[in-house]
Amino acid sequence: MQTDSAEQTIKVPQREVEEPSLLSLRLFGLMRLIRESGLPRYEREIGYKEIHRHLIMMIGISNGLSSQEIVAITGHEKAQVSRAIKPLEQEGLIERERLRAKLTLLPPGRQIFDRITIISRARDGTLVTGIDPSDLKRFAALTDALKHQAAQIYLEERQLSMETGAISPCSSPTGPMAWPDGRAPQPPANLITPRLLGLVAYLKRAAMLACQRTHGLSHFQWHVLALIGHYETFPLAQLILRIGRDKSQVGRTVLHLEQAGLIERFRPTRRRDIMLQPTERGAVVYQAMYEIAAEREEALWAGHEPTDRVFYASIVDTLMVNAAAMAAAETATTA
């Protein structure tokens, strides 16, 4: 590819708000916006790490969960949940009668849960602005069903990764599980964020394994390559804003992809703007990874009507707009 001509035509995204067609990538972007807009307030008013708040929220909603149930509901890794539980027990926020018993909230933990709930309800009320209550209920039910399917896909991907030697054989991870009444306890329909967290966690875990198994890429490296491959040419400065990660982390990832021969950078004029584009090899890798992700997405929607998929995408689009507005408002307030 010719990249050093000052007269080269720059192919930039026609619409900055355009999102990749894959639902998983759009959901990753949605959760990033939700997190960006809420993290400062949660840290100011609640404290604790994000996973600690999530665990307190789910235990409070369910009136008690075992660590295995927490893994199944949230999509977090078992070791990650175990590490998060320990400080909450030590600080007297949660307790359990024995190792495998259900975790319940102690009075101090209940107080934190009540404060988290107040903030979550207010934020989710803003997030779902413009969505009819009946549509919101349908969206919540679909999210629950998709999370269960995403967990199955993750287990299948993990098995495939072990068979191909991409990861070491280990004990079977926790995935979908049978509940006494046939259903796992879930947040109220108007609390969308806790539901989405579980779905996105399973989607991300499956994607991470697939990236490693097929091309030796981390999930973040694939995310960067996917954006550049989707738009074909992308400004580095806009990439940093779009990804929402530390500038140095994005820079290291771009350098790694460049050294791997997957992308290249150029300056189309004497201006300081740096543009990124996939190399021929990078375009092949992007297309191959996209096809794998598209197959995974087809499996995610197996058993659902096409109208469900269209409906779900339309609600995600509305949530994206609202979440972007919330993030912009938080940035303005902080500034």
In 177-288, where do the E strands start and end?
234-235, 263-266, 275-278
The two three-digit tokens of residue 7, written as one number: 């007269």
Q: CA dihedral defined by 19, 22, 23, 26, rounded to 10 degrees?
A: -30
Residue-wise pLDDT tens digits, 302-314:
999 999 999 999 9
The two three-digit tokens of residue 119, written as one number: 């903030």
10 in any annotated domain: no
**Structural contact between residues 250 and 227, judged by C-beta atoms closer than 8 angstroms:** no
16 in any annotated domain: no
Total domain count, the chain: 1
207: nearest Cα among 197, 198, 217, 196: 217
218 in any annotated domain: yes
11 in any annotated domain: no
208: nearest Cα among 293, 84, 81: 293
The pLDDT of residue 178 is: 42
With a cut of 70, which residues of the chain have pLDDT below it? 1-20, 169-190, 270-272, 335
175: nearest Cα among 199, 148, 196, 198: 148
The pLDDT of residue 301 is: 95
14 in any annotated domain: no
- Domain around 275: 23-172+188-330
The pLDDT of residue 311 is: 96
CATH value at residue 152: 1.10.10.10
95 in any annotated domain: yes
4 in any annotated domain: no
Per DSSP, 226 falls in state H
**Cα–Cα distance, 331 to 335 (Å, whole number):** 6
Alpha carbon of 115 to those of 57, 118, 271: distances in Å? 10, 5, 50
**Structural contact between residues 73 and 201, judged by C-beta atoms closer than 8 angstroms:** no
